[in-house]
Amino acid sequence: MNLLTTILSGFREIRAHWFRSALTMFGVICGVASLVTMAAFVKGKENLLRESLAQSGGLERITVESEDDLPDYQKHLEDEIRGITLKDVYALRNNAPLVYNVTPIIEKRSFRSDLRVTRKGKSTRYTLLQGTWPESLDIMEHEIEHGRMFSDIEDHLAKNVCVIGTEVRNSLFGEYDEYGETIVPIDETIFINYKPFKIVGMLKEYMTEEDRKKKEEAKKNKENKERGFDWRSMRYKDSNSRRSMIVYSSKNSSILIPLNTLVSKLDSSFESGSKMDRSLSELTMKIFDVSLLEKSLQQVRNVLLRTHNGLEDFEFETQESFADDITQAIYNERTSGMFIAGICLLVGGIGIINIMLSSISERVREIGIRKSIGATNLDVFAQILTESVVLAVSGGIIGLISSPFLIDGLASYAPDTTPPILTVESMVIGFSFSAITGSLAGLIPAIKAAKLDPIEALRYD
Amino acid sequence: MPLLELRDIHKTYHLGGETIRALDGVSLDIDSGEFISIIGPSGSGKSTLMHIIGCLDSPTSGTINLDGVMIHNASARQLASIRNKKIGFVFQFFNLLPKLTVRQNVELPMIYSGFSSKERRERAMNALESVDMEDRSKHRPSQLSGGQQQRTAIARALVNNPKIIFADEPTGNLDSNTGERILQMFDKLHTEGKTVMLVTHDPDIAAVTPRRIEIRDGKIANEIDPKLSGQTPRFNIGTNN
């Protein structure tokens, strides 16, 4: 008995009892759909986390922050704490060959300090002001879309220039002009703590790939419509779909200015003494080789201990812990999701066993007839197993077809979750799971059917 | 050499500590082209005999040679293959699959012998033609009369061109006129050279065959064989006197 005939007879059997089959399939449909949907949501989350890891500098980036809490044996030296200074930056640049682009950063946040960014009566809601060197562009994975980064000379001369993120532009200028064109406020002036700064560059808008696609689509759709469209409504819609990922939004809300400018013109705490002694928020650098992370950290530590006279008033922050967290979180979600989907499939499988058992006890006579005209035990076994697999796989396919709708439905029900990504991989897994469920569930009924004695079976009523 | 050669066939069952001798030393030769009936009351062992010759069951002891193959100790797989290729069954209750059409029912044995679907269709239609059922090929068994169903079953038994056809009370579920037609059909098959074995409890039905074997208590109690006694068999089918 060839496979095609067996499969066709499986379908005939399903059609003959379509309602019963549909009920049986429902378990598998749920199992496969939930498996694929779960995988899509986890994948979406994973992608977002990985993207944001890359966006915040990748694994190569390490950051040194000052730490007020000294180890116990150094507690009595707390008065000596200097924090991280430009001296450390130069020392590292000269003495730590495993790292490069050592860059100082002084940060000010609008919600914590008295930082005010204004223009013509408008102000920003949340701003991250960073006084830094031009190298920071590379370290923080910034990309300039319009204009340029400020130069070393502008830093040296403490010029009032700045590079802004798109969110700053949105707050102070708006995103689109009345013709629907994107506003590029290069050479405009904004006021940071009431001091004028010239915008020399604007960063690109950071967002997830999903959001970018959605935004472009939305824009295209609107362009096809009439010209006099109110672009602000789109902004609203867009920000609604924008996921609140801190990495993206804080990058978009950044203003970069030369370190010197910040220290000499905006810093009220800066009083006297050398600029070299000004304590920095953090210094950040990249390592050449991620596999040499431990060695690089040790090197940086040695250099810093020397400039800090042996005081351990600093700590490292690497992205590796972030990466580990991502892996762990994804693993957890995947396991729990798999568990739930597994239970669904188990229930579906038991449903199939049940229905196949009752189906063969209804068909004892048929099995007897088939055996009397020459079906081997293997033929009967294959027939029942195939019916079970056909049942499960049909359920699996329906589950696969319905999973995109389920995903869309869930995503629109909870718009603030990370955008799910339907992967072919998960669909293949879901499909094979349904096939495996079907063949496992079919085993017992198929063995039972194959073992039937043809004489007994023919007598059966 | 006979088509079928049984030597000292025993079949015993154990039912709750009691041993039942269903067949107790049956020896029998059947030649190719014979029309033969096995008669006996219920419980006589005739069905067991048919099941053993029909490869549905194996004897406890004894040897069976069917068409040059020793089948008494063949594996289940070999028996299935023999049932498929050398044996055709016709049952009292027709035993057609209700979900399949007449043609699909007739095709069924060929599915297990690996014919292509085109070949299956052709041969099934030929077999249906030989029992005058070709115009009902798309009907389902439930849409047919008993006689039509039995003719379909005969077509199914014929379709793989078997060496021997077993008919187990083939008229038991039919009215006498229809039953007569079915018996005539078996007679026709016999005259075409087929080996046909009727199993029945009814001596009147057994009377259509030249050779009759009566089974009682698992043994051959009586045998009428025209070759041996020169008796002329009754061919006046259905007169029932």
pLDDT of residue A256: 92
Task: Average the pLDDT over B5-29 and give the result.
Answer: 88
- Nearest residue on chain A to B87, judged by CA atoms? A373
- Nearest residue on chain A to B158, judged by CA atoms? A373
Q: Among the listed ranges A69-83, A216-230, B215-229, which one has the minimum average pLDDT value?
A: A216-230
pLDDT of residue A445: 93
Of B54, B80, B109, which is closest to A376 when you measure between CB atoms?
Answer: B80
- Nearest residue on chain B to A17, judged by CA atoms? B99
The answer as to whether B85 is a domain residue is no
Indicate if B128 and B180 belong to the same structural domain: no
What tens digit of pLDDT does each residue of B151-186 get? 899 999 988 889 899 998 888 888 888 888 889 888
Q: Is A57 helix (H, G, I), strand (E, B) or coil?
A: coil
Task: Average the pLDDT over B211-227 and give the result.
Answer: 85
Task: Average the pLDDT over B8-13 and give the result.
Answer: 90
User: What residues of B are in the A interface, CB distance below 8 Å?
Assistant: 51, 54, 56-57, 76-77, 80-81, 83-85, 89, 91, 95-97, 99, 108-109, 111-114, 117, 156, 160
The boundaries of the domain holding residue B101 are: 95-162
A318, A339, A364 - which closes a domain:
A318
B81/A376 CB distance under 8 A: yes
Indicate if A258 and A400 belong to the same structural domain: no
Residue A365: how many other CB atoms lie within 10 Å: 18
| Å between A376 CA and nearest CA of chain B | 5
Sort out which chain A residues have CB atoms less than 8 A from B81's CB and list them.
374, 376
Separation of alpha carbons A134 and A65, rounded Å: 20
The answer as to whether B83 is a domain residue is no
Indicate if B136 and B192 belong to the same structural domain: no
Q: Indicate whether B240 pLDDT > 70.
A: no
The answer as to whether A226 is a domain residue is no
Of B83, B91, B95, which is closest to A374 when you measure between CB atoms?
Answer: B83
| Å between B240 CA and nearest CA of chain A | 29
Separation of alpha carbons A78 and A311, rounded Å: 9
Question: Which CATH number fits the domain that encloses residue B6?
Answer: 3.40.50.300
The answer as to whether A305 is a domain residue is yes
Indicate if A344 and A302 belong to the same structural domain: no
Q: Which of B11, B50, B55, B56 to mutate to test the interface with A (most CBs of A within 10 A)?
A: B56
Indicate if A149 and A259 belong to the same structural domain: yes
A130 closest CA partner among A149, A153, A157 = A149
Sort out which chain A residues have CB atoms less than 8 A from B84's CB and list them.
373-375
Sort out which chain A residues have CB atoms less than 8 A from B112's CB and list them.
1, 370, 373-376, 379
Indicate if B145 and B200 belong to the same structural domain: no
Instruction: From residue A203, give the alpha-carbon distance in Å to each of A54, A145, A169, B24.
Output: 17, 5, 10, 101
pLDDT of residue B228: 67
| Å between A391 CA and nearest CA of chain B | 18
A375/B51 CB distance under 8 A: no
Q: Indicate whether A55 pLDDT > 80.
A: no
Separation of alpha carbons B117 and A271, rounded Å: 97
A208 closest CA partner among A159, A253, A169, A241 = A241
Total domains in chain A come to 2
B57/A371 CB distance under 8 A: no
A339 closest CA partner among A22, A42, A21, A24 = A42
Q: Which residues share a beta bridge with A433?
A: none
pLDDT bucket at B115, cuts 50 / 70 / 90: confident
Sort out which chain B residues have CB atoms less than 8 A from A1's CB and list them.
111-112, 114
Indicate if A452 and A395 belong to the same structural domain: yes
Indicate if B154 and B170 belong to the same structural domain: no
Indicate if A453 and A314 belong to the same structural domain: no
Indicate if A115 and A254 belong to the same structural domain: yes
Q: Among the listed ranges A20-29, B92-101, B232-241, which one has the minimum average pLDDT value?
A: B232-241
pLDDT of residue A240: 33
B162, B194, B210 - which closes a domain:
B162
What tens digit of pLDDT does each residue of A403-414 get? 999 888 888 876
The boundaries of the domain holding residue A306 are: 57-208+243-318
The answer as to whether A331 is a domain residue is yes
Separation of alpha carbons A103 and A280, rounded Å: 10
Total domains in chain B come to 2
The answer as to whether A92 is a domain residue is yes
The answer as to whether A218 is a domain residue is no
Q: Indicate whether A329 pLDDT > 60.
A: yes
Of A16, A365, A373, which is closest to B83 when you measure between CB atoms?
Answer: A373
B162, B186, B215 - which closes a domain:
B162
A377/B76 CB distance under 8 A: yes
pTM summary value: 0.70
B113, B139, B162 - which closes a domain:
B162
**What is the ipTM, given to two decimal places?**
0.89
Indicate if A150 and A108 belong to the same structural domain: yes
The answer as to whether B77 is a domain residue is no
Residue B123: how many other CB atoms lie within 10 Å: 20
pLDDT of residue A268: 62
Indicate if B19 and B59 belong to the same structural domain: yes
Indicate if A24 and A168 belong to the same structural domain: no
Q: Among the listed ranges A158-167, A223-232, A389-398, A417-426, which one has the minimum average pLDDT value?
A: A223-232
pLDDT of residue A341: 81
β pairing state of B164-168 and B87-90: parallel
Indicate if A12 and A36 belong to the same structural domain: yes
Amino acid of residue A367: I
Indicate if B227 and B117 belong to the same structural domain: no
A318, A339, A361 - which closes a domain:
A318
Q: Is A67 helix (H, G, I), strand (E, B) or coil?
A: coil
A376/B156 CB distance under 8 A: no
Q: In what order do the strands lie in the sheet with B69-70?
A: B18-30, B4-15, B61-66, B69-70
Indicate if A408 and A312 belong to the same structural domain: no
pLDDT of residue A449: 92
Contact between A55 and A68 (Cβ < 8 Å): no
Task: Average the pLDDT over A154-175 and give the result.
Answer: 88
Residue A359: how many other CB atoms lie within 10 Å: 22
| Å between B225 CA and nearest CA of chain A | 29
Of B57, B81, B97, which is closest to A455 when you measure between CB atoms?
Answer: B57
The answer as to whether A83 is a domain residue is yes
The answer as to whether B79 is a domain residue is no
Indicate if A331 and A425 belong to the same structural domain: yes
The answer as to whether B54 is a domain residue is yes
- Nearest residue on chain A to B95, judged by CA atoms? A369
The answer as to whether A286 is a domain residue is yes
Q: Indicate whether A274 pLDDT > 90.
A: no
Sort out which chain B residues have CB atoms less than 8 A from A16's CB and list them.
99
B99/A376 CB distance under 8 A: no
pLDDT of residue A417: 61
B84/A373 CB distance under 8 A: yes
Sort out which chain B residues have CB atoms less than 8 A from A377's CB and list them.
76-77, 80
B97/A366 CB distance under 8 A: yes
The answer as to whether B78 is a domain residue is no
Taking CB atoms and an 8 Å cut-off, how many pairs form between chains A and B?
Answer: 62
pLDDT bucket at A243, cuts 50 / 70 / 90: very low
A297, A318, A339 - which closes a domain:
A318
Sort out which chain A residues have CB atoms less than 8 A from B99's CB and list them.
12-13, 16
Higher local confidence (pLDDT), A52 or B210: B210
B85/A374 CB distance under 8 A: yes
Task: Average the pLDDT over A427-433 and give the result.
Answer: 89
DSSP, res A4: H
What tens digit of pLDDT does each residue of A180-234 get? 788 888 888 898 888 899 999 998 888 766 667 777 777 767 655 544 444 443 3
Indicate if B238 and B178 belong to the same structural domain: yes
Q: Is A396 left (phi over 0), alpha (psi -120 to 50) or beta?
A: alpha
Phi, psi values for residue A66, rounded to 5° = -80, 150
pLDDT of residue B204: 85
Indicate if B122 and B181 belong to the same structural domain: no
Of B85, B99, B109, which is closest to A16 when you measure between CB atoms?
Answer: B99
Mean of the per-residue pLDDT values of chain B: 86
Indicate if B58 and B169 belong to the same structural domain: yes
Contact between A172 and A190 (Cβ < 8 Å): yes
Indicate if A341 and A374 belong to the same structural domain: yes
Mean of the per-residue pLDDT values of chain A: 82
DSSP, res A152: H
Task: Average the pLDDT over A272-286 and give the result.
Answer: 75
Secondary structure element (H or E) that encloses residue A248, with its range: helix A246-252
Q: Is A132 helix (H, G, I), strand (E, B) or coil?
A: strand
The length of chain A, given as a count of residues = 461
B89/A2 CB distance under 8 A: no
- Most confidently modeled range among A85-99, A106-120, A169-183, A230-244: A85-99
pLDDT of residue A229: 43
Q: Is A383 helix (H, G, I), strand (E, B) or coil?
A: helix
